Chains A and B, each alone.
Chain A
Amino acid sequence: MIVFKPLAARAAPIQSTGLIGWMRLNLFSNIINSVVTLLIAGLLLMTLPDLIDWLFIKATYTGESQDVCNPDGACWVFVNAWSKQFFYGSYPLESLWRINLSLFVLFVVVAGSNFLPKNLRYPITVPALLFMPFIGLALIDGRLFGLEYVATDYWGGFSLNVLLAAASIIVSFPLSFLWVLGRQSNMPFIKTVCVILIEFFRGVPVLALFFMGSVMLPLFFAQGINIDKLIRVWIVLVLFMSGYMAEVFRGGFQAVPAGQYEAADSLGLSYWHKTLLILLPQVIKVAMPNILATFVMLFKNTTFLLIIGIFEMLATVQTALSNSNWLGGHATEGYLFVGFIFWICCFSMSMMSSSIEKKLNKSNV
Chain B
Amino acid sequence: MKFSTILTGGLTLCLAIGAQAATLDDVKNRGMVSCGVSTGLAGFSQKDENGMWSGLDVDVCRAVAAAVLGDDTKVQYKPLTAKERFTALQSGEIDLLSRNTTWTHTRDTSLGLNFAGVNYYDGQGFMVSKKIGVTTALELDGAAVCIQAGTTSELNLADYFRENKLSYTAITFDTADQTRAGFESGRCDVLTSDQSQLYAIRIGLKNPADALVLPEVISKEPLGPVVRQGDDEWFNITRWSLMAMVEAEFLAVDSSNVDNAMKNGSPSQKRLLGSEGDAGDKLGLDANWAYNIVKLVGNYGESFERNVGMDSPLKIARGQNAQWNNGGLMYSAPIR
Chain A interfacial positions (CB closer than 8 Å to B): 71, 81-82, 84-85, 89-91, 151, 153-154, 211, 214-216, 218-219, 221-224, 226, 229, 307-309, 311, 315, 318-325, 327-329, 331
In the docked arrangement, what's the CA distance between A81 and B81, Å?
A: 25
Q: Enumerate 21 A-B pairs (CB-CB under 8 Å) in ascending A order.
A: A71-B206, A85-B47, A85-B49, A85-B51, A153-B76, A211-B83, A219-B91, A223-B19, A223-B21, A223-B92, A224-B21, A224-B92, A226-B93, A309-B79, A311-B39, A319-B46, A319-B79, A320-B40, A323-B42, A327-B200, A327-B204
B92 close to A309 (CB less than 8 A): no
B208 CB → nearest A CB, Å: 9
Residue B163, interface by CB 8 Å = no
* A-B interface, 5 closest residue pairs, ranked by CB to CB distance from nearest: A90-B51, A319-B40, A322-B40, A218-B91, A223-B18
A75 CB → nearest B CB, Å: 12
- CB contacts under 8 Å to A, within B57-87, are 76-81, 83-84, 87
A319 close to B47 (CB less than 8 A): yes
Residue B264, interface by CB 8 Å = no
In the docked arrangement, what's the CA distance between A247 and B151, Å?
A: 41
Beyond the given pairs A223-B21, A309-B79, A324-B313, 18 more chain A to chain B contacts, judged by CB atoms under 8 angstroms and listed by A's residue number, are A82-B49, A89-B51, A90-B47, A153-B76, A153-B78, A211-B83, A215-B83, A223-B18, A223-B91, A308-B81, A308-B84, A319-B39, A319-B47, A322-B46, A322-B200, A324-B46, A325-B48, A327-B204
Collect the chain B residues with CB atoms within 8 Å of residue A218's CB: 87-88, 91, 93
CB closest residue in chain B, given A316: B47
In the docked arrangement, what's the CA distance between A91 and B180, Å?
A: 33
Collect the chain A residues with CB atoms within 8 Å of residue B18's CB: 222-223
CB closest residue in chain B, given A223: B18
Residue B257, interface by CB 8 Å = no
Collect the chain B residues with CB atoms within 8 Å of residue A71's CB: 206
Using A318-B40, A322-B40 as known contacts, say yes or no to A327 and B84 having CB atoms under 8 A apart: no
Using A154-B51, A308-B81, A324-B43 as known contacts, say yes or no to A226 and B204 having CB atoms under 8 A apart: no
A323 close to B21 (CB less than 8 A): no
B84 close to A331 (CB less than 8 A): no
Residue B138, interface by CB 8 Å = no
Please tell me the size bucket of the interface on B.
35 or more
Interface of A is mostly: helix
Collect the chain B residues with CB atoms within 8 Å of residue A224's CB: 21, 92
In the docked arrangement, what's the CA distance between A322 and B81, Å?
A: 14
B213 CB → nearest A CB, Å: 15
CB closest residue in chain B, given A323: B46
Using A226-B92, A321-B40, A324-B46 as known contacts, say yes or no to A311 and B313 having CB atoms under 8 A apart: no
B224 CB → nearest A CB, Å: 20
Collect the chain B residues with CB atoms within 8 Å of residue A331's CB: 177
In the docked arrangement, what's the CA distance between A298 and B163, Å?
A: 52
Residue B90, interface by CB 8 Å = yes
Collect the chain A residues with CB atoms within 8 Å of residue B314's CB: 324
Collect the chain B residues with CB atoms within 8 Å of residue A309's CB: 39, 79-81, 84
A221 close to B200 (CB less than 8 A): no
Collect the chain B residues with CB atoms within 8 Å of residue A327's CB: 42, 200, 203-204, 313
- CB contacts under 8 Å to A, within B8-38, are 11, 14, 18-19, 21
User: B19, B49, B92, B308: which has the most chain A beta carbons within 10 Å?
Assistant: B49
CB closest residue in chain A, given B175: A331
Collect the chain A residues with CB atoms within 8 Å of residue B14's CB: 219
In the docked arrangement, what's the CA distance between A82 and B87, Å?
A: 31
A106 CB → nearest B CB, Å: 23
CB closest residue in chain B, given A83: B49
CB closest residue in chain B, given A211: B83
Collect the chain B residues with CB atoms within 8 Å of residue A307's CB: 81
CB closest residue in chain A, given B32: A151
Residue B312, interface by CB 8 Å = yes
Residue B217, interface by CB 8 Å = no
A325 close to B313 (CB less than 8 A): yes
CB closest residue in chain A, given B37: A309
CB closest residue in chain A, given B180: A329
Residue B41, interface by CB 8 Å = yes
CB closest residue in chain B, given A321: B40
CB closest residue in chain B, given A82: B49
CB closest residue in chain A, given B205: A329
User: B42, B47, B88: which has the most chain A beta carbons within 10 Å?
Assistant: B47
In the docked arrangement, what's the CA distance between A221 and B81, Å?
A: 20
A11 CB → nearest B CB, Å: 56
In the docked arrangement, what's the CA distance between A104 and B47, Å?
A: 28
B91 close to A221 (CB less than 8 A): yes
User: A215, A216, A325, A327: which has the most chain B beta carbons within 10 Å?
Assistant: A327
A233 CB → nearest B CB, Å: 12
In the docked arrangement, what's the CA distance between A131 and B50, Å?
A: 32
Collect the chain B residues with CB atoms within 8 Å of residue A323's CB: 40, 42, 46-48
CB closest residue in chain A, given B36: A309
A315 close to B39 (CB less than 8 A): yes
B312 close to A324 (CB less than 8 A): yes
Collect the chain B residues with CB atoms within 8 Å of residue A215's CB: 83-84, 87
In the docked arrangement, what's the CA distance between A91 and B204, Å?
A: 29
- CB contacts under 8 Å to A, within B78-130, are 78-81, 83-84, 87-88, 90-93
In the docked arrangement, what's the CA distance between A76 and B53, Å?
A: 23
In the docked arrangement, what's the CA distance between A211 and B204, Å?
A: 31
A322 close to B49 (CB less than 8 A): no
B12 CB → nearest A CB, Å: 11
In the docked arrangement, what's the CA distance between A218 and B90, Å?
A: 9
A364 CB → nearest B CB, Å: 49
A243 CB → nearest B CB, Å: 24
A219 CB → nearest B CB, Å: 6
CB closest residue in chain A, given B45: A322
Collect the chain B residues with CB atoms within 8 Å of residue A211's CB: 83
In the docked arrangement, what's the CA distance between A71 and B204, Å?
A: 12
In the docked arrangement, what's the CA distance between A325 and B77, Å?
A: 20
Our pick among B43, B77, B90, B307 for the contact of A219 (Cβ within 8 Å) is: B90
In the docked arrangement, what's the CA distance between A352 and B245, Å?
A: 59
Collect the chain A residues with CB atoms within 8 Å of residue B48's CB: 323, 325
Collect the chain A residues with CB atoms within 8 Å of residue B21's CB: 223-224
